[in-house]
DNA sequence: TTATTTCATTGACTAAAATCAATGGTTTTT
DNA sequence: AAAAACCATTGATTTTAGTCAATGAAATAA
């Protein structure tokens, strides 16, 4: 249990057996069915979720009810409404499962105790956050400077599996496009090769 | 000296006089003339810069030589090519001054020693990073879900001064638009009021 | 298994943003 | 002070993305 979680953790900060045991006591496993919510906008986000298996998405709802996906989380990724988690205010994002999923949850109190008691958890958290920041910066840069073809190419080269596992109209949403437009972008790419 | 830096620091984590003194020994003041570079793409980013006075911008250059601004930093903001700073690889972004500026620099070695020696610096850094992450997430969300009018409105309400101090075509670049388009967006907003 | 829903693609058309070009007003340089 | 460079705006046109509608295929539910 928690194999992937600790694998990823050790890639960032290497833990000894004792430290792993301590951390384990703060973790909670959770299974999520396809289409099930981990978080609904309006509720307070109580956990940080690490994905052991499956795919989740995080999205906001526009006033017309259309979904704007801001993040996918595949195996090895972490997902949460960080603002809500940290401040205790109600969440603006929804998180749900696109496939049946197995998660590792860290509650707010677990998170705080771990920060205090396990110095390496603090380092891990900082590295996580740094990585997430840099990834988002890259995405933003590509949004303001690249063509749709290039952006889609980037996406598929960085996350090769996502195309197989996530419906195309959701990838369109993630890119800020309409499904029809992404379909045409793909055709353009494939015919030009 | 360093007034604003410590003001902002204390807003996040409050320091006693002794701690301030220790931190001060790790800081370096630097003045930058308008149009002067703090960092050029290709060089390694050696510092994190806090803006005491003036305005800086961070941008990448497309192959056609057009600038894509990813961040502005006004008084009280921090700016750096974080990826280059952390990894030591060459920077992909340029940073320069839009007005004569006064900066507080933290070198890599200073940063690392501070992290080790001053626990509150670690907390400060984490809060900085968290804030930057959340701000960027907000920006990204607005990019994929809002109209240009709404996005411009957001920008000006969050950074009221930026419109006075930064040329409009740079704000356009920051929004991923052409100057002409932003001009028309503004007209649309003003006539509809 | 069948019915239903979801999904990707395509076409015709509309709306939005980019491009090209010109103008007048600033600001900056010399 | 004059010249040069920079800047915002506007108009006309082209390109790009969105909208609306229809189709067939695939996945899901009954």
Is the CB of residue A88 inside 7 Å of nucleic acid strand D?
no
Q: Which residue has the tokens 């994905």?
A: A51
Q: Which two tokens stand for residue B127?
A: 């809060």
B82 vs A132: CB contact, 8 Å cut-off? no
CA of A99 to C1' of C5 (A): 18
Residues in chain B with pLDDT values less than 70 = 193
Give the pLDDT of chain A (193 residues) as one tens digit per residue.
Answer: 899 999 999 999 999 999 999 999 999 999 999 999 999 999 999 999 999 999 999 999 987 778 999 999 999 999 999 999 999 999 999 999 999 999 999 999 999 999 999 999 999 999 999 999 999 999 999 999 999 999 999 999 988 789 999 999 999 999 999 999 999 999 999 887 5
The 3-state DSSP class for residue B145 equals helix
Query: Which whole-number Å values give the CA distances from B41 to A178, A188, B18, in the listed order?
Result: 34, 32, 38
B136 vs A134: CB contact, 8 Å cut-off? no
B144 vs A83: CB contact, 8 Å cut-off? no
Give the minimum alpha-carbon distance from B120 to chain A in angstroms, rounded to a whole number: 13
CA-closest candidate to residue A73, choices A145, A5, A122, A121 = A5
**Closest Cβ opposite residue B130 in set A86, A122, A141:** A86
List Cβ neighbours of B48 (8 Å cut-off, separation of 6 or more).
B78, B79, B80, B85, B105, B106, B111
Task: Mark the nucleotides of strand D covered by protein, meaning any atom under 7 Å from a CB.
Answer: 6-12, 16-21
pLDDT tens by residue, B76-113: 999 999 999 999 999 999 999 999 999 999 999 999 99
User: Chain B interface residues facing chain A, Cβ-Cβ under 8 Å?
Assistant: 60, 62, 68, 70, 82-83, 86, 122, 125-126, 129-130, 132-134, 136-137, 139-141, 143-145, 173-176
pLDDT at A69: 96
* B12: exposed, middle or buried (Cβ count in 10 Å: 0-12, 13-18, 19+): middle
Side-chain-facing half-sphere of B120: CA atoms under 13 Å: 14
pLDDT at B193: 59
Average model confidence (pLDDT) across chain B = 94
B144 vs A176: CB contact, 8 Å cut-off? yes
Residue in chain A nearest B115 by alpha carbon = A123
* A128: exposed, middle or buried (Cβ count in 10 Å: 0-12, 13-18, 19+): middle
pLDDT at B64: 77
pLDDT at A191: 81
A133 vs B60: CB contact, 8 Å cut-off? no
Beta strands A94-97 and B56-61: pairing type?
A: unpaired
Distance CA A168, CA A191 (A): 18
**Closest Cβ opposite residue A140 in set B70, B82, B173:** B70
């Amino acid at each position: 249990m928690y194999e992937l979680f600790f694998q990823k953790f050790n890639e960032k900060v290497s833990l000894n057996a004792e430290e792993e045991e301590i951390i384990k006591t703060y973790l909670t496993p959770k299974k999520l069915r396809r289409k099930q919510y981990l978080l609904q906008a309006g509720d307070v986000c109580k956990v940080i979720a690490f994905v052991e298996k499956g795919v989740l998405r995080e999205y906001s709802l526009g006033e017309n009810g259309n979904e704007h996906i801001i993040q996918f989380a595949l195996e090895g990724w972490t997902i949460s409404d960080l603002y809500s988690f940290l401040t205790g205010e109600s969440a603006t994002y929804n998180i749900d499962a696109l496939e049946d999923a197995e998660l590792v949850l860290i509650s707010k109190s677990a998170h705080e105790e771990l920060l205090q008691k396990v110095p390496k958890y603090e380092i891990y958290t900082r590295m996580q956050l740094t990585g997430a920041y840099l990834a988002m910066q890259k995405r933003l840069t590509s949004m303001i400077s690249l063509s749709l073809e290039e952006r889609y190419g980037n996406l598929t080269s960085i996350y090769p599996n996502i195309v197989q596992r996530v419906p195309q109209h959701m990838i369109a949403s993630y890119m800020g496009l309409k499904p029809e437009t992404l379909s045409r972008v793909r055709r353009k790419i494939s015919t030009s090769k």
